[in-house]
Amino acid sequence: MAHDRFDELIGRLLDDDISSDQLDELAQVAAADPLKLQRLREHLLFSDRLSQYEDELRDEQRFLSALQVRAHAADDTADFVSQVVASVTGETAGLRNQGPSPQSQHHDRGWSRFRGLAGWATAAAALLLLAAMLISQAIDAGKDEPWPQIAGGDLAELTEVNDSGVAVLTRIAGLQETTTSDWRVGETIPRGTMAWDAGLLQLEFYGGATVVVEGPAQLELLDESRVTLQLGRLWAHIPIPARGFAVLAPSFELVDVGTEFGLNVSRDGVAEIHVFDGKVELYDLESNRNQTTRRELNAGDALTIDRDGTSKPIEAQDADFVTPTRLSQMADVHRQGQLRDWQAFRDTLQDDPRIVAYFPFDRSADDDRLLIGYGPNGSSLTGAIVGCEWSQGRWPGKTSLQFKRPGDRVRISIPGEFESLTYSTWLRVDGLDRQYNSLLLTDGFRRDSPHWQILQDGTLILGMRHSNRVLHGYRSDSIFSLFRLGQWVHLATVYDSGQGHVTHYVNGERTTREPLKGPAFALLTIGDATIGNWSVPTNRNRRSSIRNLNGCMDELIVFGQALDDHEVHRIYEVGRP
């Protein structure tokens, strides 16, 4: 058979315009020529034969089923062909059950002419023959034959970020001597032990339980619905989705069945249980919740239990425990004190002779489209706000600027020449959308005019151009992971020409120090610059790259000198929310 005839038959098959005789002819030709059989299989795989949504006889369920067949076609040849046959026989059965529709009476071309029982039987037999040949060829060809990929179908290459957390730290007040300095509101807390000498914190577990714990305390998070309290005063609210939340104490296991309760464990292992609402169950420790050890406490009940398990009733005392509402009030008082301390520090900075630009990001009552700042010797600096919206800053009553859209920015101009520079900012990053996410960029990228920004991989970088051909990037380790987004972070970078290095800081701690890679051509300058984005010299034929920040900025300081570790840490401590 000439290729033209074979192609015509394939075309008729794919167009639903093939007769039973032609289908037999196609099957015989394909059976006699392996190359033609392969071509037929490829056409079937890529055809829309199984997704003819325009066919008025194909109902929604069968259309979706056909789509699924197409989606898996490249993975399993045999299944695909069998589905082709099933599709044909299914249509036959459907026609028998439904009878001809009014539309089908006018649809007399192609496959429709053979939808009578005899015609469909012939077509099905032909396709079964094709199926047998295709399956046989697939087996003979083995599994090494490459199959075309269906777009979006290779899900194995997609990776997801894993979450090892079990709770979120949502409130803190007056924490002292914690086991780690990295506890901040919004922090995801993994399994492990938390210990502190004084103060309170609130944890919201992934399972739905909320607990407030007062120090001195030692609390081990076992999973999203189970903790061990070795020391401390714990208040818990367990809503219905979190029922079953358990607390292991020195001599018993408490299992909540939907309630509010308080548990106080002293250093000698004596525990007090106070049930404020609902009820709890108690089991002997390590009894695997043996029912013979089960005790039940209801609302208003209270019990003290010694380390040896001896217990006695006591009077319930809810006033001894701090609830989330009370903790919120305490946290507000604490934050207001922090805000006053920072405001006093802010006022002293205005007289610091090393300051070349200080923007505290306080919203101006006279014109909120201007960013009011301070320059050397108490002079004023004004930034022009473009697009950005005002938002809440690190504390209630403190403002910040939100950068979201590609055009959002603040235009500033910082005069002067400097041997060294120190950058400091408080920042809440909501996402790293761009390859480069601007903090403070000089216009264009002039020689000896630094670019301070965050790369999409979460690293902080200070870029320097010392000549037309020499570019240097001083880059930190990765700072912003998925779990640091949405939290206030203090960043600082010091370019110290005297000591010959660049140092990056995160939350007052040095993270990276790198020797200068080459001398500057001249003194450093900033001049016209942009906060939270990048601006290039005006040229109507030139488009600038988008480097907008996604997040909020609350304070930006530029010193004309290099600050040391102690000074950077002090700025962090005074400004930490």
Domains, the chain, with CATH or none? 165-325 (2.60.120.1440), 350-575 (2.60.120.200)
**Of the candidate ranges 54-58, 213-217, 524-528, the one whose mean pLDDT is the lowest:** 54-58
Structure tokens at 486: 């949405």
Give residue-wise pLDDT tens across range 112-162: 343 444 444 445 555 555 555 554 454 444 333 333 343 444 444 556 777
Question: Could you tell me how far CA 267 lies from the centroid of its own chain?
Answer: 40
What is residue 317's predicted lDDT score, i.e. its pLDDT? 85
What is residue 2's predicted lDDT score, i.e. its pLDDT? 59
Question: Could you tell me how far CA 93 lies from the centroid of its own chain?
Answer: 49
How confident is residue 239, by pLDDT bands cut at 50, 70 and 90? very high
Distance CA 395, CA 386 (A): 24
Mean pLDDT of 90-118: 39
Mean pLDDT of 178-204: 87
Structure tokens at 568: 């950077």
Q: Please indicate whether residue 496 or residue 79 has the higher confidence score (pLDDT).
A: 496
Q: Where are the alpha helices (DSSP H) in 287-431?
A: 324-349
> How crowded is residue 380: how many other Cβ atoms within 10 Å of its Cβ?
9
Distance CA 219, CA 231 (A): 7
How confident is residue 489, by pLDDT bands cut at 50, 70 and 90? very high
**Of the candidate ranges 130-144, 416-430, 448-462, the one whose mean pLDDT is the lowest:** 130-144
The fraction of the chain above a pLDDT of 70, given in percent, is 76
Closest of 357, 346, 453 to residue 403, by C-alpha:
453
* 397 has pLDDT over 80: yes
Q: What contacts 252, CB < 8 A, 6 or more positions away?
A: 271, 282, 283, 284, 285, 305, 309
Average pLDDT of the residues of the chain:
81
How confident is residue 247, by pLDDT bands cut at 50, 70 and 90? very high
Sign of the dihedral defined by the CA atoms of residues 349, 352, 358, 362, in that order: positive
**Of the candidate ranges 112-116, 182-186, 212-216, the one whose mean pLDDT is the lowest:** 112-116
Model confidence pTM above 0.85: no
Residue 458 near residue 429, CB atoms below 8 Å: no
**Of the candidate ranges 38-42, 247-251, 449-453, 470-474, the one whose mean pLDDT is the lowest:** 38-42
Eight-state DSSP code of residue 278 = S
Residue 320 near residue 262, CB atoms below 8 Å: yes
Q: Please indicate whether residue 100 or residue 281 has the higher confidence score (pLDDT).
A: 281
**Neighbouring-strand partners of residue 418:** 524
Q: What contacts 142, CB < 8 A, 6 or more positions away?
A: none
Q: Is 14 helix (H, G, I), strand (E, B) or coil?
A: helix
How confident is residue 87, by pLDDT bands cut at 50, 70 and 90? very low
Distance CA 208, CA 244 (A): 11
Max distance between CA atoms of the chain, in angstroms, equals 99
- Between the two ends of the chain, the Cα-to-Cα distance in Å is 82
3-state helix, strand, coil in the chain (%, to 5): 30, 35, 35
What is residue 43's predicted lDDT score, i.e. its pLDDT? 66
How confident is residue 543, by pLDDT bands cut at 50, 70 and 90? low
Structure tokens at 346: 């802010």
**Of the candidate ranges 87-101, 466-480, 527-541, the one whose mean pLDDT is the lowest:** 87-101
**Neighbouring-strand partners of residue 403:** 551
What is residue 1's predicted lDDT score, i.e. its pLDDT? 57
Q: Is 547 helix (H, G, I), strand (E, B) or coil?
A: coil
